[in-house]
Amino acid sequence: MPHTIAEKILAAKAGLKEVEPGQLVTARPDKAMSHDNAGLVIRQFRQIGAEKVFDPARIIIPLDHRAPAESEKTAAAHKSIREFVAEQGVAAFYDIREGICHQVMIEKGHVLPGELILGTDSHTTSYGCLAAASSGIGATEMAAVWATGEIWLRVPETIRIEVKGNFGLNVYPKDLALYLLGLLTARGADYMSLEYYGKAISQMPVSGRFTLCNLAMEMGAKFAIIPYDAQTEAYLKARAPFKWTPVAADPDAKYTRVVEVDLDRLEPQIALPHRPDNVVPLGKAAGVKLDQIVIGSCTNGRIDDLDIAASIIGRRKVSTKVRLLVIPGSREIYLEALRKGILESLVEAGAVVLNPGCGPCLGAHQGILAAGEKCLATTNRNFKGRMGSGEAEVYLCSPAVAAQAALIGEIPDRILP
């Protein structure tokens, strides 16, 4: 029987010859990632009564959500995590210096094609950028994985995304991701896997693929996978000195739906408050006065994102009406942006650079919004209360749109060269 990538990976990890959508399997994940919420995972792990984790070499813990600790409670949680990883021999522990968990996962070679990876973060779907099947779970579920090395999973149906045409000037993978989200809606891919195909996907670097797979979560996707190709291999060769087994879909695999997108007609997109799938072309939101702009997050905090923002701002100044926060996604990105002069140019323009981490994206700290304030962000969610006050508004866009907005203090109708 022909199969999709999700079906093949789940069959392999469940030790079965083949599986079909709807079937429940018991699978053994290759990696298990947790961030600051490892504090709760540890508590539940103790509650279960297990003594040793199933395999310390498969557990990865970067601290990023509230880093450095913004409160005494978080400080205590971080401390308990540091003690736990020492006790259990978890080598892949990344303290607050490294950056956002998902970015750290791909940079440090913890994601390989064909792997099944679980994480206690909804945006774990991002690892599909390296052709892995990866998904978010809760803390108690992770405690059970740490204790047993197993998890039950439902084999998902797969949606095939066919991308035609080419990205126009100032149109980016984020715009495609937002457009798809608007088209499929917040529940359009609930419980499902996505596979992306087309020339523009083959040509897209891992960074843009990351953005696509990351935002697929907002459609409810369980997995979002870009098939393995030369781009995947090039990225991994420098970072993962391991063997991997790429998994491709069979040519006649069954898809529950095929969605076609024509990039030639795509313009910059923006998600209006308070839902990520409330997506319109940029022009429809033009003129909204802003208080804060955030460029960063696991969605859009990579070197090319910062580079685009810096090149649009150039030698001009950030409007005094707005606060521009820039957050490199990881220490590696931070260093590269320093060396290339990207951060120097952004700081000259008036940006405030924060340490690599999640910070304002989830309203944890560093840039909380007051009632009545409006924020434009390259992040992934604009739910009510997401970045602070429930009376604040968040709009989502690409780094290019965010940079243009920073110059004028309002949502632009277009990006000027």
Partner 1 sequence: MPYEVLRGSVFRYGDSVDTDVIIPARYCTSFHAAELAPHCLEDLDPTFVKRVSAGDIIVAGYNFGCGSSRENAPIAIKGAGVACVIARSFARIFYRNSINIGLPILSAPEAVDGLNEGDIVEVEPGTGAIRNITRGGVWTADAFPAEIQSIIRAGGLVEYVQKRLASR
Q: Pick one of 60, 77, 224, 326: the residue that binds partner 1 (CB under 8 A).
A: 77
Within 342-361, the residues that bind partner 1 by CB under 8 A are none
Taking the least distance from each CB to partner 1, the nearer of 192 and 342 is 192
- 178 contributes a contact to partner 1 by CB under 8 A: no
Question: What is the maximum span of the chain, computed from C-alpha positions, in angstroms?
Answer: 61
Number of residues in contact with partner 1 under rule CB under 8 A: 50
Per-residue CA distances from 318 to 71, 302, 313, 343, 345 (Å):
31, 21, 8, 14, 11
H/E stretch holding 24 reads strand 24-27
Distances (CA, A) of 410 to 248, 293, 363, 394: 44, 10, 21, 13
- The CB-of-153 to partner 1 minimum distance in angstroms stands at 10
| C-beta separation of 284 from 410 below 8 A | no
Choice from 183, 186, 259, 408 touching partner 1 (CB under 8 A): 186
Among 183, 259, 362, 408, binds partner 1 (CB under 8 A): 362
Q: Which of residues 130-159 bind partner 1 (CB under 8 A)?
A: 135-141, 143-144, 147-148, 152
Q: How far is the CB of 92 from partner 1 (least distance, A)?
A: 20
- By C-beta, is 139 or 212 nearer to partner 1? 139
CA distances to 1, 247, 255, 269, 355 from 250, rounded to whole Å, are 9, 9, 11, 33, 43
* Residue 385, CA distances (Å) to 147, 353, 370 in order: 35, 23, 10
User: Which of 73, 265, 289, 339 touches partner 1 (CB under 8 A)?
Assistant: 73
Among the listed ranges 94-102, 121-129, 225-233, 322-330, the one in contact with partner 1 (CB under 8 A) is 121-129
Instruction: Establish if 55 lies at the interface with partner 1 (CB under 8 A).
Output: no
3-state helix, strand, coil in the chain (%, to 5): 40, 20, 45
- Selection from 277, 101, 279 nearest residue 190 by Cα: 277
Decide if residue 275 touches partner 1 (CB under 8 A): yes
* Cα–Cα distance list, 17 to 3, 20, 134, 278, 326 (Å): 11, 11, 20, 41, 48
Nearest residue (CB) to partner 1, 37 versus 232: 37
Q: What is the DSSP string of 354-410?
A: PPSS-GGGGTSSSSPBPTT-EEEESSS---TTTTB-TT-EEEE--HHHHHHHHHHTB
Applying CB under 8 A, the span of 7-15, 47-55, 175-183, 371-379 interacting with partner 1 comes to 47-55
Closer CB to partner 1, 153 or 406, in the complex: 153
What 3-state class would DSSP assign to 183?
Answer: helix
How far, in Å, CA of 331 to CA of 413, rounded?
33
**Residue 274 preceded by cis peptide, ω within 30:** yes
Question: Minimum CB separation from partner 1 for residue 277, in Å?
Answer: 8
* Binding piece for partner 1, criterion CB under 8 A, among 56-64, 66-74, 89-97, 246-254: 66-74
If one asks whether residue 15 binds partner 1 (CB under 8 A), the answer comes out as: no
For the bound state, the minimum distance from the C-beta of residue 241 to partner 1, rounded and expressed in Å, comes to: 31
The 376-405 contact track toward partner 1, x by CB under 8 A, reads -----x-xxxx-x-x---------------
Is residue 257 close enough to count as binding partner 1 by CB under 8 A? Answer: no
Q: Is 71 in the site for partner 1 (CB under 8 A)?
A: yes
Which residues 6+ apart lie within 8 Å of 199 measured at CB?
A: 163, 164, 166
Which residues here bind partner 1, judged by CB under 8 A? Answer: 24, 37, 39-40, 43-44, 47-50, 66, 71, 73-74, 77, 120-122, 124, 135-141, 143-144, 147-148, 152, 186-187, 190-191, 218, 220, 222, 275, 362-364, 368, 381, 383-386, 388, 390
